Amino acid sequence: MTALPNIPFNRASMVGPELEYIRQAVESGHISGDGPFTKRCHRLLEETSEVKKALLTTSCTHALEMSALLLDIVPGDEVIVPSFTFVSTPNAFVLRGAKPVFVDVRPDTLNLDEKQLAAKISPRTKAICVVHYAGVGCEMDEILAAAGDIPVVEDNAHGLFGRYRGRALGSFGAMATLSFHETKNLSCGEGGALLLKDERLLARAEIIREKGTNRSLFFRGQVDKYGWVDLGSSYLPSDVLAAFLFAQLEARVSIQARRRAIWEAYAERLEPWAAKHGVRLPVVPAHVDQAFHMFYLLLPSLDKRTAFIAHMKERGIYTPFHYLPLHLSTMGTKFGGRVGDCPVTEDVSDRLARLPLFTALTDADIDRIVDAAVQFS
């Protein structure tokens, strides 16, 4: 019998004209940053994300670093972040000298627990960075109310096209960041974007993104020469990557529809097994329209999670765990993190496993994954 091919956790795929658009970018003679396809991506992201300005970046990490520069983060500042997130979220601010103040997550959505936020705010709090985990929106009304005048940054790496109470994720804070890494719903391999709602930040964001120069003003004819005017770095992606990304953005409706079909198939077909074996499926509040970025399982214990991952791997299916608690990492403990500081994070980190979810996943693949999962007890 021929062995079935492995099902990876993620597989990047093309949806149509990616290669044709790359050819057009090369033939245009402009393949460095801010070319024609970059501008097309900007316009589409501004429309769909309901923000004043979108700027493509080389990664979501770099978009977060730009946000730290825009907020003038300096040593001694504090930035509130969830402990259950990727290292880029706090690291962007730590690079500017800030201290990360870790907050636990809600046990249902695994988003930052808004009820704990007020107690974490101090006179040194310079920003609050929230993460829409798995593309399910945080409770932004309560977060913005608690923040008051403190800027909120939305790390929306998971949540492009998600909505909270009818509004696009990424449109609530002073700024937001996106990821177009190969593991995300839409991808160009490596890439990101900074979304800006606050018009006062637009001019400076362009300068920071252009190595601290006012080069963008020069190309628009607003100055007769450009020079070094601020801090910055090289955050522009190649227009070749933007060409690939634009094809994906154009296909966003079909991509999201497929991901939704996969997510809902998992939810419906795994529910009886999960209820029987004490496995919790993702929670999506009624007032949130999720982005269908991830489908995860919360197993009853670390031992069960370890056994489940091994069980699936034996059947050629890869179901990795996710974030480790940042407050307990080597860097986190240097900032005072201790066991017990974020008990929900510490618990779910040990029990969470993610199922494969990518656009090219077939119905036969879904059958294999579900059949394998329900054989585990």
Q: Whole-angstrom Cα distance, residue 318 to residue 310?
A: 9
Residue holding tokens 């946000």? 67
Q: Whole-angstrom Cα distance, residue 302 to residue 324?
A: 13
Q: Whole-angstrom Cα distance, residue 273 to residue 164?
A: 30
Burial class (CB in 10 A: 0-12, 13-18, 19+), 11: middle
User: What is the structure's pLDDT at 1?
Assistant: 47
pTM of the predicted structure, to 2 decimals: 0.95
Which domains does the chain show, CATH number per domain?
Answer: 18-250 (3.40.640.10), 252-374 (3.90.1150.10)
Sign of the CA dihedral running 340, 344, 345, 347:
positive
User: What is the structure's pLDDT at 218?
Assistant: 64
The torsion defined by the Cα of 114, 116, 119 and 120, in degrees rounded to 10, comes to: -80
Q: Whole-angstrom Cα distance, residue 162 to residue 288?
A: 8
Burial 95-116 (b: 16+ CB within 10 A, else e): ebebbbbbbbbbeebbbbbbeb
pLDDT in tens, the chain (377 residues): 467 899 999 999 999 999 999 999 999 999 999 999 999 999 999 999 999 999 999 999 999 999 999 999 999 999 999 999 999 999 999 999 999 999 999 999 999 999 999 999 999 999 999 999 999 999 999 999 999 999 999 999 999 999 999 999 999 999 999 999 999 999 999 999 999 998 889 999 999 999 999 877 766 667 767 889 999 999 999 999 999 999 999 999 999 999 999 999 999 999 999 999 999 999 999 999 999 999 999 999 999 999 999 999 999 999 999 999 999 999 999 999 999 999 999 999 999 999 999 999 999 999 999 999 999 99
Phi–psi pair at 147, nearest 5 degrees: -70, -35
Phi–psi pair at 17, nearest 5 degrees: -90, 20
CB atoms within 10 A of CB 19: 12
Sign of the CA dihedral running 171, 229, 57, 75:
negative
Position 373, amino acid: A
Q: How far is residue 122 CA from its own chain's centroid? A: 27
| Backbone φ/ψ region at 225: left (φ over 0), alpha (ψ -120 to 50), beta | beta
Q: Whole-angstrom Cα distance, residue 12 to residue 4?
A: 20
- Per the CB < 8 A criterion, the answer to whether 9 and 296 are in contact is no
- Per the CB < 8 A criterion, the answer to whether 49 and 160 are in contact is yes
**Structure tokens given for 307:** 């056994």
